[in-house]
Structure 1
Amino acid sequence: MLHDEDKRGETDMVTTKGGECVQVHQSKEAVDLTHYILQVFGEESSDEEVYQKTAFPLVLHMLNGGQATCFVFGQTGAGKTHTMLGFPGGSPGLYALAAWDIFTHLYATNTAPALLVYVSFLEIYCGQLYDLLDHRKRLFAREDGKGVVQIAGLREIPVDTVASLMEVNCWGTERRTQGVSGVNPVSSRSHALLQIQLRNPKQQPAGRVWCVDLAGSERAVDSREPDRQTCIEGAKINQSLLAVSN
């Protein structure tokens, strides 16, 4: 990299880790005209490496009182849910890594008695909202007087350890809508939204992060002998993914 490029904060476009692996850092422009670097991870990349480069900065922003959202998207069967949950008996996923950093920060800064952690978990299935922590109760999105969208009736559970947060997460994940598609024998048929929120003793918000595990996109032509419900689910999934991308 040239000296002038380094002064401007520019980064290398290509890095190599040896062997036949090449990592490309592509410069992109978001819809709000801000610039960012598109990072590509290979099959050998661990969940922790992906977390450190993507979700970890969002967790830090949340710990400083901000609000952030982490989306995981891709084709069905690509491994999105495994990336979020990790593998049983193996490496932790993004949920566990984020929980570990949150509680480590709170206890290291002696703010654990002052800041409380709450978790909520809902899914969007065929355009409807359901609470995964409250017997799949139907939920409704409402806009308050300040123009902020609120999920009316969403259950929030207080947690005080990584283990308790992951227990709530696993409990909700078991209630997420799944089905069989022509592409994947066990396919998530809904978008799962996990919210981790910090509050002070007066119950005022002090930081929030949403972790969104989107259902996988799929083409109707890829589905083998789909039934009517599977076709409806696929159409709703693709419609909502298009709305997010726009």
Structure 2
Amino acid sequence: IKDDAEAITVARRLAAEFVKDSSKRDRERIWPVAELDQFSQSGLWSINVPKAFGGPEVSYATLAKVVEIISAADSSIGQIAQNHLGVVAAIRTVSDKDQQALLFAEVLKGTRFGNAFSEFGSKRAADFETKFTDAGDHVIVNGQKFYSSGALLAHLVPIVALDDEGRAWYAIADRGAPGLTVIDDWSSFGQRTTLSGTVIIDNVKVPKTYLVPGYKGYDKPTADGAIFQ
């Protein structure tokens, strides 16, 4: 996708396909596997990658419009992309150039970020028990998450974890990493195919090149939080 106009055109084309069986998928809880592949391979999951790294860097208005168009056809599919686009925005804000080049290259080839952010039972959304320890060229992550939209069919799973100073990072783990288990236990009324569920993180290794300093995003106001929502 080269520009805003093309992003809207592609979104409308996909929405016309996604709407056909959206009610059946939701009613029978059929995972939108083929639809998600179409969506992420269409280029729409990289529309907020900066132009300097080969992306179209569309406007926030276009980003919102794309999500609106897809969500009108199938709200679950629209929501699955939410955290992916938020992570892309966060990388743009907090990562150095080398890490941006590495991770944006993943996004541009169609790699999907899931999420492992929220934790059950905490008093505030920003209270985390998931932590990582330094192990040389990688870190070891341990914890448990819930409401992890998109994680079941993600390629990479960003895990919000704290360092020994209590700072929050995105430890981006391979979906197939040993010790990373995603459980299909999400139950809801409507939007039943967001591919949410519990994530168990048991001594999961994450290369430091995939450790994104999310805490730096709180240094100044950005639009990143709005994209995550």
Relative to the length of structure 2, the TM-score reads 0.27
Which has the larger strand fraction? 1
Which has the larger helix fraction? 2
Q: In terms of Rg, which structure is larger?
A: 1
